[in-house]
Amino acid sequence: MTRAVPSAARAILDGDRRALARAISQVENRDPSVAPVVRALYSHVRNVPVVGIAGPLGVGKSSLINLLVARLRELGRTVAVVAVDPSSPYSGGSVLGDRIRFSRRADDGGVFFRSMASRGEAGGLAAATREVTRMLAAANFEVVLVETVGSGQVDIAVRDVATTSVVVLVPHLGDEVQTLKAGLFEIADVFCVNKADLPGAELARKDLAELVGLAAARGAWTPRVVSTSTFPTPPLGIAELWSAIEDHERFLDDSGQRATEERRRLATEIVELVRERVGRELSERIDRAPGLRKLLDEVVARRIDPRTAAERVERDRPRRG
C-alpha cells in the first residue's frame, strides 16, 4: 500500500524549519491531524544519538548544552536541542527559560532549539518527546540533545527517550545521596560533575567514581564520570564529556544493545500511546454513551463495584493479537 506523502512531511525532509516547528506543535498539542506526517517521516528516521541531559534544578544543564552544541558544530555535526520544563499544575502554563543560555549565531542553520512544556503526566510526555526527536532526526539533525529536570515533579522517563543518559550533578555534600533517592543513579550512562570551579568538586568526582565502581558489576557498561565547568574561557571538560557520550554510543553498537533498547523503548511507546488514546476515549464516553452511563449508574448505586465495572468495560472492547 502506498500513500501520498503529505506536503508538510516533504517540507520537513527538505529542511524547512517552519514546517518542522509547526509539526512539533501539533505533536505537543496531540493534534490528530499530524498523524499522516508522522507516518510519512517514520521510514526516514535514522538512528541518531539522542542524549538526555538530566539533573536537579540549576546544576548547569542548559549551560552545558550550549557548550556541547558549540563542540558538535566544531566537529561539523548538526544538532537539535529539546528542552523540557514543567507545566504549572495550577494554571497549566509554564515559563520555559532554557533558551536564555543558548548563544548560537542566529544564522547557523545546523542548529535547532525547541522548548517544550511537560503538559501533564510523564508517560505521555515521553511518547511526545520521542515523536519529536524522530522528527528532528528525519529533518537531518545528526545529534539530538534533550534537557530535562530529572527529579521531583517532571520526572520525564529519560530512559524512554534517550540512547545515552547524562546525569549532571554539582559538588555538594549529600548530592550523591539525593541522586540515589531520585533514581537518577540507575539511569546514568555518564555522570557529569559540573561547576568544577567550586570547592569540593574533586571530592565529589572521587566519591561518585567509587559509587560507580561498586555498582559496575550490574552491567557491561561502566558509567563514566566527567568533571566540567562552563565558566572559564575556554570552559573545562566539554570535549571529554562529548567523548564519554560517544564512547557509550559506540558501546551500544558494539554490544548490540542499541537494537534491544530501541525495541524496549518502542514497546513502551506503543503501550503509552494506547493508554493515552483509550483513556481519553473512555473519559469522553463514560458518562455519555448509554451503555456506559447505565454501568456508571449501577456503580453509583453501589450495586457494582468500580473494579467489576472496569472489567466489563475491558471485556466489551474489541481485541486483537
Partner 1 sequence: MPHAHPTTPIRVLIAKPGLDGHDRGAKVVARALRDAGFEVIYAGLRQTPEEIVRAALEEDVDLIGLSILSGAHMALFPRVLALLKKEHAANIPVFAGGIIPDEDARQLKRAGIRAIFGPGTSLQEIVTTAQRLVRSAA
Q: Does 59 bind partner 1 (CB under 8 A)?
A: no
Our CB check for partner 1 shows the closer of 25 and 222 to be 25
Query: Should residue 61 be labelled a site residue for ligand GTP when binding is judged by CB under 6 A?
Result: yes
Q: Which residue is nearest to Mg ion (CB)?
A: 62
User: By three-state DSSP, how is residue 76 classified?
Assistant: coil
Q: Binding to ligand GTP (CB under 6 A): which residues in 193-222?
A: 194-195, 197-198
Among residues 8, 11, 54, 59, which is the contact residue for ligand GTP, using CB under 6 A?
59
Q: How far is the CB of 53 from partner 1 (least distance, A)?
A: 19
139 vs 15: CA distance, rounded Å: 6
Out of ligand GTP, partner 1, Mg ion, none, which partner does residue 221 contact, by CB within 5 to 8 A per kind? none
Contact with ligand GTP (CB under 6 A) among 102, 221, 231, 251:
231
Q: How far is the CB of 67 from partner 1 (least distance, A)?
A: 17
List binders of ligand GTP among 62-81 (CB under 6 A).
62-63
Looking at residues 100 to 139 of the shown chain, list those that interact with partner 1 (rule: CB under 8 A): 100, 106-107, 112-115, 117, 119
Q: Which of 63, 66, 78, 87 binds partner 1 (CB under 8 A)?
A: 87
Answer whether 11's CB lies under 8 Å from 44's CB. no
Cell of 268: 513502551
Q: Cell 548547569 identifies what position?
A: 60
CB-CB neighbours of 121 under 10 Å: 13
User: Distances in Å between the alpha carbon of 98 and those of 55, 83, 86, 123, 171?
Assistant: 14, 7, 12, 22, 22
What does each C-alpha distance from 296 to 106, 281, 283 come to in angstroms? 56, 16, 12
Q: Which of partner 1, ligand GTP, Mg ion, none is residue 198 near (CB under 5 to 8 Å by kind)?
A: ligand GTP
CA distance 208 to 194: 13
Contact with partner 1 (CB under 8 A): which of 57, 95, 214, 301? 95
Select from partner 1, ligand GTP, Mg ion, none the partner in contact with residue 133, using the beta carbon and a kind-dependent cut-off of 5 to 8 Å.
none
- Pick between residue 6 and residue 60 the one whose CB is nearest to ligand GTP: 60
Given candidates 11, 24, 64, 295, which one binds partner 1 under the rule CB under 8 A? 24
Q: How far is residue 162's CA from residue 146's CA, in Å, rounded to a whole number?
A: 8
Q: How far is CA 140 from CA 4, 63, 273, in A?
A: 21, 24, 25
The one-character DSSP state at 90 is: T
DSSP 256: S
Single out the segment in contact with ligand GTP by CB under 6 A; choices: 182-190, 229-237, 249-257, 277-285: 229-237
In angstroms, the CA 181 to CA 169 distance is 14
Q: How many CB atoms lie within 10 A of CB 205?
A: 19
Using the rule CB under 6 A, is 57 a contact of ligand GTP?
yes
Residue from 7, 15, 29, 213 in contact with partner 1 (CB under 8 A): 29
- Cell 563514566 belongs to which residue? 224
Residue 287's binding partner out of partner 1, ligand GTP, Mg ion, none, with CB under 5 to 8 Å set by partner kind:
none
| φ, ψ (nearest 5 deg) of residue 132 | -65, -45
Give one DSSP letter per residue of 153-194, joined into a string: GG---GGGT-SEEEEEE-S-TTHHHHHHHTTHHHH-SEEEE-
Q: Which one, 24 or 208, has the nearer CB to partner 1?
A: 24
- Residue 127: burial class (beta carbons within 10 Å; 0-12, 13-18, 19+): buried
Footprint of partner 1 on this chain (CB under 8 A)?
17-18, 21-22, 24-26, 29-31, 33, 87-88, 90-97, 99-100, 106-107, 112-115, 117, 119
Footprint of ligand GTP on this chain (CB under 6 A)?
57-63, 98, 101, 149, 194-195, 197-198, 229-231
